Amino acid sequence: MLQRMARVQIIGSRGQLDSTVAAIHRLGVLQVEDVSKARSLKELKPDEHQARLQEDLAFLATRLDALIQILPVPEPETTKLPSSLPNGSGEPVAVVRAQLDKLAPEIQELAKRRDALQAELMALPRYEITLKKLAPLAVELRELQGFETTALLIDRPYRDVLEVIRSEVERIAGAQCEVVAREVDDQTTAALLLYPRSVAQEVQALLGQENITQVRLPKEIAGRSFRDALSALEDRKQSTEREIAGIETRLMQIAGRWRLWLEAHRFEVRNRLQRLLIRTRFGSTTHTFVMEGWVPRNKVSALGETLAREVGQELLVKEMALTRGEREKAPVAFVNPRPLKPFEMLVRLSGLPRYSGFDPTPVIAVFLPLFFGIILGDVGYGLILLVVAIDVRRRYAANQVIRDLAQIFIYGAVWAVAFGFMYGEFLGTLGERIGLRPLWMPREGEKILALFAFCIALGVFQVLLGLMLGAWQAWRERQRSELISKISMLVTLAAIFGLIGVATHFLPGSFFTPTIVLLLIGLVVLIIPAGPVGVLLGPLEVLETVGNMLSYLRLAAIGLASVYLAMVANRMAGLVGNVLVGVILAALLHALNFALSVLSPAIQSLRLQYVEFFRQFHHGGGHEYKPFKVER
């Protein structure tokens, strides 16, 4: 369900501003709205001292972020607790700045050197490949002493440019140059140019005009003979790796000593900056300030009591009456029981519900795992999934998204085991061989029709529930046309079900005429709001809704595909003459089926929620509740 919200207004004297902001920031329950542009109020502008402090804090936050991004995360046992951490009272900016001035130069220099070495390490294999390809031509090259060396990689479409380069280099350097080339692969030609350093500038100007990639030898290698340059590449690679490892070790040492201090002060600086920036949303008069915002209704009294105790009894805190427009703009916060919390993530993916709308979290928490279990419906697969999901939840306990997804799969696995007993399935048909009998019905033979009927009944129930929720939501939001549309659709569907009942002799024939009248009334009410085009759109909308109900047949159909693939796996194992090979083959097929049987039910169950169910009432458009609170 959604948290009930209240809009409050807080008015106090300018002298109470700092203490009020600090108290509200610490409480973390008020989402502050911007009232600075209100007609009867003036904007609360910072004085010169506050403006300067705001700039200093913003600059400090940037510097702290940059250093933290550079430093690695040390192991807990190697982390040294700082002798002093910020206590929230606001450590002087000069103290933090002075410590950063000591730390930053070494950290930044190490990072700069590491980045340069890593770039060089990535480039060295390119040199090696090029030189190795040219190695058979090494005997044609003179010694590199006094010469500049440039390696070139030329793409296939531009191979003809090599002859142009050769002639131009010979024109510039005369006989004191060499150009050797070799195909690296079907797409690239490698070439090595040797020329006197005295003409290097002219040659480089020439190469800069062509569509080629230059691969210059590092300065530590350039100037050696060709053979020495090739052998020196490996030495350079090893020395570069050692230097990078040394830099990483030093950065880890610094991180163990200072990262916690940097992170603590980053949060402190951010929080102080927030307390200054939030004031731009306040309004003011000559002697007072005014702030407004949203608070959970059950916390309004606690907010007033805390401000009265910490700021003063003269501070005015009052709850404001909500207009219809303000109610529509109210922020949205979920307050579901803990077992339902993981499903809130799935609701957010389709858009937050409006404040006046309906929270579908409890409904999706019931139907999504149920549908998953109906499709999978295997004791063996369900138990395997249950063990895997529990292990994933334990391993990734710090990751909220993965933990929630794992919990959803745990619920689905429990339903899969339950329906596995109902179907009598354990790794497909293996359940029958080990004596497992269906508690309800097997997914084969003529009895499968009962499963089809059950799935359609689920579809009818959920789509009708969605239509009723849509009607209730339209009534709450006073959307008359939407309300009439939902009710007329319900009436039309009721008439269609009545006609089906008469045709199957479930209802007496005397119901035929009333249901026809009811059907005509429902269709006319659907058609009229859309005008002439409604003659086409009204019946199409009815057919689409009926199609949505029939779409729930996929619960049975997709599950049957898994059953038959498991059956094939079991039979394939029996057909192979060698027992060991048969077991391995069956295990591989079951592993494939398990992967498909987890992925497909999850996707199809979500699709039924988002497409067939949510579209009847859920329109999104809500704004998340984001209180002004301390970052920790």
Ranges of residues in the chain whose predicted pLDDT is under 70: 77-91, 126-146, 151, 184-185, 208-230, 445, 530-531, 534-535, 569-570, 572-583
Question: How many CA atoms lie less than 13 Å away from 624 in the CB half-sphere?
Answer: 9
Q: Greatest CA span in the chain, whole angstroms?
A: 111
Q: Domains of the chain (ranges plus CATH)?
A: 118-240 (3.30.70.2750), 338-616 (no CATH)
Q: Which residues contact 468 (CB under 8 A, 6 or more apart)?
A: 486, 490
pLDDT for position 193: 77
The pair of structure tokens assigned to 15 is 């002298």
Given a contact cutoff of 8 angstroms between Cβ atoms, the answer to whether 92 and 56 are in contact is no
pLDDT for position 323: 80
pTM value is: 0.72
d(CA 278, CA 202): 60
Per-residue pLDDT tens over the stretch 487-519:
888 888 888 888 888 887 787 877 788 888 888
pLDDT for position 238: 84
Per-residue pLDDT tens over the stretch 235-270:
778 888 898 999 999 988 888 888 888 888 888 888
pLDDT for position 109: 92
Using CA of residue 277, residue 282, residue 285, residue 287, what is the dihedral sign? negative
pLDDT for position 340: 92
Q: What is the DSSP letter of 93?
A: H
Question: In what helix (H) or strand (E) does residue 464 lie, and over which residues does it extend?
Answer: helix 448-476
Given a contact cutoff of 8 angstroms between Cβ atoms, the answer to whether 581 and 588 are in contact is no
Closest CA to 356 of 534, 218, 535, 478: 478
pLDDT for position 246: 92
Q: Which residues contact 133 (CB under 8 A, 6 or more apart)?
A: 182, 183, 184, 190
The pair of structure tokens assigned to 290 is 């005014």
